[in-house]
């Protein structure tokens, strides 16, 4: 990790790219109640303390993989799935926990506190719930998987935080994008994905476009709210089309579009200083080039110009001077 960081620093990327490593909850010797969370003896001083010192010095997060799925029982299923329940009291802090994820996160926080690293950000590197499993497994089905991941998404983004870490959001990664039909082991290990190996959706947790949602055989997610803003443009299909920002699109959203497209590795040199499309040097102008580059590279489907309702199609070529926009 130190070597990777040094290499990034050598090319001035250390502030943009952080180096960390994920940990299972097996690094804890105790985790219940959450206030007693403690790292395993030996690992705490000789491995984790130097690692945490590195993370603090480089402003990088401590990454953990909390899985309520591996800690639940039939009696605690509601607690694991963020359903209404009576809660669990930590008698040491008198804090009541209404879901298992918060308890797992706070156990890690308590362990960090012992070593003096509560200022290091916690990132959920992976968590999830399977949609199928062996016969007799309670709560292992499509409905429960969609419920866990949907409630997870709402909870970590709500800003509520946890009893010991209030008023926080948590950067979170869902395991997994795809089911792994060739993976060995229990049946549930093959079915953590949001999509099947053939790219068809297993279920939706509110992140899919309506066109993709329609192909789900069963979806527990509520119907999508009506789209706000201008209706999608219906343009003639016999001529070229380009994707440009909508007139009312906010510059912050357009900057995100630029970061997203260029982060995929598409050619953004024309909008970098000295490039043919750098002038005018505005977020809107640069976003126009980047959004169109993405639209053209992905095949020119109307949905590829959506950009969270900030993009619109046009049949008017936006090229100017040496700045040439691809069109199809």
Give Cβ neighbours of residue 212 (< 8 Å, ≥ 6 apart).
201, 204
Instruction: Tell me the pLDDT tens digit for each residue of 50-81.
Output: 999 999 999 999 999 999 999 999 999 999 99
Residues designated as active site? 126, 180, 183, 189
- Using CA atoms, how far apart are residues 125 and 176, in angstroms rounded to an integer? 11
What's the pLDDT at 3?
96
In whole angstroms, give the CA distance from residue 160 to residue 154. 10
To the nearest whole number, what is the mean pLDDT of the chain?
90
> Around Cβ 44, how many Cβ atoms within 10 Å?
18
pLDDT in tens, 257-296: 999 999 888 889 999 999 999 999 899 999 999 999 999 9
Residue in the block written with tokens 């359903």: 83
Q: At 318, list the tokens.
A: 């936006």
Please give the model's pTM, rounded to 2 decimal places.
Answer: 0.67
Secondary structure element (H or E) that encloses residue 88, with its range: strand 88-90
**Measured distance CA(195)–CA(143) in Å, rounded:** 14
Q: Is the pLDDT of residue 221 over 60?
A: no
Q: What is the mean pLDDT of residues 187-195?
A: 96
Query: Pairing relation of β-strands 95-97 and 122-127?
Result: unpaired
Which residues make Cβ contacts (< 8 Å) with residue 193, sequence separation at least 6? 131, 176, 177, 178, 179, 180, 202
């Amino acid at each position: 990790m130190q070597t990777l960081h040094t290499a990034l620093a050598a090319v001035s990327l250390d502030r943009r790219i952080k180096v960390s490593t994920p940990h299972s909850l097996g690094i804890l010797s105790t985790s219940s109640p959450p206030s007693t969370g403690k790292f395993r003896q030996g690992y705490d001083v000789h491995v984790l303390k130097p690692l945490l010192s590195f993370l603090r010095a480089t402003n990088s997060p401590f990454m953990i993989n909390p899985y309520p799925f591996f800690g639940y029982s039939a009696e605690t299923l509601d607690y694991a799935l963020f359903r209404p329940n009576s809660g669990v009291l930590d008698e040491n802090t008198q804090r009541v926990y209404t879901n298992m994820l918060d308890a797992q996160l706070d156990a890690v926080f308590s362990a960090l506190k012992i070593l003096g690293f509560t200022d290091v950000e916690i990132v959920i590197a992976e968590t999830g719930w399977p949609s199928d499993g062996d016969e007799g497994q309670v709560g292992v089905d499509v409905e429960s998987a969609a419920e866990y991941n949907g409630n997870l998404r709402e909870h970590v983004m709500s800003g509520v935080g946890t009893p010991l870490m209030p008023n926080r959001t948590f950067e979170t990664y869902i395991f997994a994008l795809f089911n792994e039909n060739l993976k060995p082991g229990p049946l549930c290990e093959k079915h953590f994905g949001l999509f099947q190996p053939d790219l068809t959706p297993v279920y939706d947790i509110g992140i899919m476009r309506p066109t993709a949602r329609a192909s789900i055989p069963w979806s527990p997610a509520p119907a999508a709210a009506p789209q706000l803003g201008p209706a999608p443009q219906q343009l003639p299909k016999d001529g070229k089309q380009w994707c440009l920002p909508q007139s009312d699109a906010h510059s912050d959203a357009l900057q995100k579009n630029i970061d997203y497209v260029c982060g995929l590795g598409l050619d953004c040199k024309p909008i970098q200083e000295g490039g043919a499309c750098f002038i005018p040097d505005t977020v809107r102008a640069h976003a126009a080039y980047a959004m169109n580059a993405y639209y053209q590279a992905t095949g020119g489907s109307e949905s590829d110009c959506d950009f969270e309702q900030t993009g619109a199609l046009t049949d008017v070529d936006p090229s100017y001077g040496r700045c040439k926009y691809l069109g199809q």
